[in-house]
Amino acid sequence: MKTIKIKVKNSGIVKMQFFDDFPDGNLVIGEARKNIPFDIRRVYYINNLFNKKSNRGHHAHKKLEQIIFCVNGSFVLNLDDGENKQKIIMDNPYYGVRLGQLLWHTMEKFSSDCVILVLANDYYKESDYLRSYDKFIKYLKRK
């Protein structure tokens, strides 16, 4: 995953600091305004992804900035900036993907041991969501 080139707008790869040569387990670190490009106001994680048909996301944000990590297992992240689309296999806990503004995203094909961690630069606000693809495209054109 670290070698992929991000083709969509408002995204990118975020590299964590990590120590993976300890016999007692790996340590992974992110620091706000250092490798995490904002101040973190909210953290959420998604687990219990045993349903093979799980399909999450299906929205974009107007203002919110997020970094998404797969801290265990794997899943497929689909990104769409309204012009370019990209499919990313998330299977490396040391690299996150920036979900910047106005990036439609969906998540699928979760391994049953998958755990997703998201860091966000603001509190939860339903008014920041664009929850239909049609609204997303209209919002992009309005700008």
Write out the catalytic residue numbers: 59
The CA-based angle 14-16-19, given to 5 degrees, is: 160
- Single out the residue of 44, 45, 85, 87 in contact with ligand TYD (rule: CB under 6 A): 44
Which is closer to ligand TYD, CB of 14 or CB of 77? 77
Cβ neighbours of residue 94 closer than 8 Å, sequence gap 6 or more: 2, 15, 16, 18, 20, 28
Nearer to ligand TYD, 85 or 125 (CB): 125
- From 7-15, 25-33, 38-46, 66-74, give the range in contact with ligand TYD by CB under 6 A: 38-46
Q: Which of residues 86-125 bind ligand TYD (CB under 6 A)?
A: 124
Could you tell me which residues are beta bridge partners of residue 129?
61
Contacting ligand TYD within 45-74 (CB under 6 A): 46, 56-57, 59
CB nearer to ligand TYD: give 46 or 102. Answer: 46
Taking CB atoms within 8 Å and a gap of at least 24, the contacts of 30-37 are: 30/67, 30/96, 30/119, 36/67, 36/119, 37/65, 37/67, 37/98
Binding site for ligand TYD (CB under 6 A): 42, 44, 46, 56-57, 59, 124
